[in-house]
Structure 1
Amino acid sequence: MSQVSHRTVPRVTAELYVEVQQFYARQMPLLEARKLVEFLETMTEDGSIEHRPGGWKLAGRQQLLAEMRARRGDPERPLVEEISARDAREHDVAYYDGLVYRYWFDRMHIEPAGEDTLHVRYQAIVSMTDAAGKVSFEPTTVVEDVLVRIDGELYTRSRVVTHDSPAWADKIHNPS
């Protein structure tokens, strides 16, 4: 008979789980509403977002703000041509013009990693809806966040988005 080794993971209280859920419930609608400065205020000054595989990493509120302003676009503008995320960055195109996007999280796992640090892992998908009501999706992902507590508030220190498709950055978004 073989023995199975189980790593002991600290239990998360219901209060902490709800606090993290509420943090994301405040944070992600800011991005969906393209309130980029307010969204970035939920991250540490040196916060980072990285896309894997074959993607890019941006660090610091200023670098993140510049990239987000260039890519997030405006839902009131005409729908952007069919373009991939990689080509949108290369050609400086607002990838999400003409689209309302929503972030959907599931299977959240929270692991305390010190007195004021949490590792949070969840699965995510992004839906995009155009003015005609057509819905499309980005490739699914696993997201790993490091949240830190500063003066009693949670902030994202880092976010690593691992796309389930190795060709995610070359996928045409919202195809016709």
Structure 2
Amino acid sequence: MSQHVTPRVRPELYVEVQQFYASQMPLLEARRLEEFLLTFTPDCTLEHIPYGWRFEGREQLLKEMSARRGDPDKPRAEETSARRAREENIAYYDGLVYRYWFDRMLIVPAADDTLKVRYQAMVSMTDAQGKVSFEPTTVVEDVLERRDGELMTRSRVVTHDSANWADKIHNPG
């Protein structure tokens, strides 16, 4: 029987990567998109699979995220799917507080200033009445790059556990 050996990283590096995400993701949750995107390299990519989308560069990401993230102070958006929201150019997070949850983080140094990070993620959405719903779970694969001593996301691939994730109804009543 062969044994799979996972490379070990220094505890300080593991903590640094966790701190990076602990600083990055609250910016997205708070819809501080310009600040969130400053944690990505200018030439970054973000891809959702299967049946998803690929965005390149901060400008394209800002345009897409601005159209979808909505306003937490507005009344809850009508029920819609991610696919329909893109087709009709509407936000689907209005009136919702959403949070990102990461687990089982595997960090593999790829080069002097590059890390490959793989983790499972889940997104929760809470409405004004306290009702919580979840998006389909995902596996995320990031490439982090150190620039001027700081970690930044160069690429992110989000693989949804359901092939029909884009047709899932957001904000079900």
What count of residue pairs does the alignment treat as equivalent? 173
Match of 1:36 among 33, 38, 54: 33
What SS does the aligned partner of 2:101 have?
Answer: strand
Equivalent residues in 2 for 1:1-150 (5 A)? 3-4=1-2, 6=4, 8-150=5-147
Q: Structure 2 CA distance, aligned partners of 1:10 and 1:106?
A: 18
Q: Structure 2 CA distance, aligned partners of 1:17 and 1:174?
A: 35
CA-to-partner distance for each residue in 1:121-161, whole Å, 9 max, x for gaps?
00000000011111000000000000000111000000000
Query: Could you tell me the percent identity over the aligned residues?
Result: 73
CA-to-partner distance for each residue in 1:79-129, whole Å, 9 max, x for gaps?
111000000010011110111100000000000001000000000000000
Residue 11 of structure 1 and its aligned partner are, at CA, apart by 1.8
Residue 9 of structure 1 and its aligned partner are, at CA, apart by 4.2
Gaps of 5+ in 2: none
The residue number in structure 2 matching 1:175 is 172
**Counterpart residue identity of residue 171, structure 2:** N
What SS does the aligned partner of 2:51 have?
Answer: coil
What SS does the aligned partner of 2:170 have?
Answer: coil
Residue 10 of structure 1 and its aligned partner are, at CA, apart by 3.2
List structure 1 segments (4+ residues) > 3 angstroms apart after TM superposition. none
Q: Structure 2 CA distance, aligned partners of 1:9 and 1:166?
A: 29
TM-score, structure 1 normalization: 0.96
